[in-house]
Amino acid sequence: MILNDNLKGALLMTASMGAFTLNDVFVKLLAADLPLFQIVFLRGLLTTIMLAGLAAWFGQLRFRMEPSDRAKLGWRTVFEIAAMVAFLMALVNMPIANATAILAALPLSVTLAAALFLGEPLGWRRLSAILVGFAGVMLIVQPGSDGFNVWSLSALLAVLIITGRDLVTRRFSAGLPSLGVAVITAAAVGIFGGVLSIFETWAPLGLREALLITLASVFIIGGYLFSIMVMRVGEVAVVSPFRYTGLIFALIFGLLLLGEWPNGVALLGAGVVVATGVYTILRERAVASRARRAARAGTAV
């Protein structure tokens, strides 16, 4: 069977989300036996080595950059480390599907932040969808209920930090290699984990723990690699909604591998977040299409 570009993109996006979710599952399994920052350090070490090999293979292991990119890369790395800490703290202390569902609000928050800080257009329809989506997040977090705790706020904090990271990333120059940035980021995260792990009591590594750390490293790289590949095929507006398959994977893996299942209110909130996120993506496609048509019409005149 011959796959068209959109189907290839949809499959790659789905594979990316599955890989990222499996990384989260393995980290969560490890956290039952190992201190968190020991995990971060060891995963970061393996990830950096493998990413550096990939970057060298693709000819992107270059660390020269425009002076304007240096400060941005510094801030992006700080945001990446802070987001990692916030999300992993939430992940190991709450059901994986709940944490993933809160993180699914990221496209909504990035759209809103881009309008507020970068001057990107935002109509009333997308603004309404964003507000409804954030209401869905509140259904997942459930403030005031027995299930509410500080880890829900930690997941929300991760969304805010990643939003800042993505805004900085949008400002990179076009010539900055993505894999080179990934290597620097992975190394910084690993070093940060190594420093903080000094204040933890390291646990001995058995065969199970070594295997899980290796799998987590492989899958996080697989997720990143698939996410790069997906941008090279298919239409963004067609492929992007498949990002939400990550929530389906989180529900399945959470039940089968971790014995977790969100309550009905959280599932409803997750559905609202996904629906509004997909609507926002499709609406952005329509707005961009109108802008292109208007530009062509203006050129013709």
- Give the residue-averaged pLDDT of 128-155: 82
- Give the residue-averaged pLDDT of 61-69: 79
Q: Please check the confidence at residue 263 and state whether its pLDDT lies above 50.
A: yes
> Domains in the chain: how many in total?
1
Confidence class for position 288, pLDDT limits 50, 70, 90: low
pLDDT tens readout for residues 89-124: 999 999 999 999 898 888 888 888 888 887 777 777
Confidence class for position 294, pLDDT limits 50, 70, 90: low
Q: Please check the confidence at residue 281 and state whether its pLDDT lies above 80.
A: no
Q: Note whether residue 100 is domain-resident.
A: yes
Q: Which pLDDT value is given to residue 301?
A: 47
Q: Note whether residue 268 is domain-resident.
A: yes
Q: Which pLDDT value is given to residue 240?
A: 72
Q: Please check the confidence at residue 295 and state whether its pLDDT lies above 80.
A: no
pLDDT tens readout for residues 145-167: 666 678 989 999 999 999 998 88
Tokens of 8: 């290839």
Higher pLDDT, residue 4 or 34: 34
Q: Note whether residue 11 is domain-resident.
A: no
| Closest to 181 measured CA to CA, from 13, 84, 64 | 64
For residues 266 and 146, is the Cβ–Cβ distance under 8 A? no
Higher pLDDT, residue 266 or 283: 266
* pTM for the predicted model, two decimal places: 0.83
Per the structure, the complete domain to which residue 184 belongs is given by 20-300
Cα 287–236–159 angle (5° rounding)? Answer: 90
For residues 214 and 23, is the Cβ–Cβ distance under 8 A? no
* Average pLDDT value over all residues in the chain: 85
Q: Note whether residue 251 is domain-resident.
A: yes
Q: Rounded to whole angstroms, how far apart are CA atoms 75 and 81?
A: 10
Q: Note whether residue 46 is domain-resident.
A: yes
| Closest to 83 measured CA to CA, from 102, 108, 69, 111 | 102
Q: Please check the confidence at residue 300 and state whether its pLDDT lies above 80.
A: no
Q: Note whether residue 73 is domain-resident.
A: yes
Q: How many percent of the chain have pLDDT more than 70?
A: 90
Q: Please check the confidence at residue 207 and state whether its pLDDT lies above 90.
A: yes
Q: Please check the confidence at residue 236 and state whether its pLDDT lies above 70.
A: no
Higher pLDDT, residue 282 or 54: 54
- Give the residue-averaged pLDDT of 243-250: 89
Q: Note whether residue 6 is domain-resident.
A: no
| Closest to 154 measured CA to CA, from 77, 91, 246 | 91
| Closest to 273 measured CA to CA, from 146, 90, 143, 97 | 97
Q: Which pLDDT value is given to residue 297?
A: 65
Q: Which pLDDT value is given to residue 237?
A: 60
Q: Please check the confidence at residue 125 and state whether its pLDDT lies above 50.
A: yes
Q: Note whether residue 10 is domain-resident.
A: no
Q: CA distances (Å), 24 to each of 151, 223, 232, 234, 290, in order? A: 16, 11, 26, 27, 39
Place of tokens 């996904």: 274
Q: Which pLDDT value is given to residue 20?
A: 92
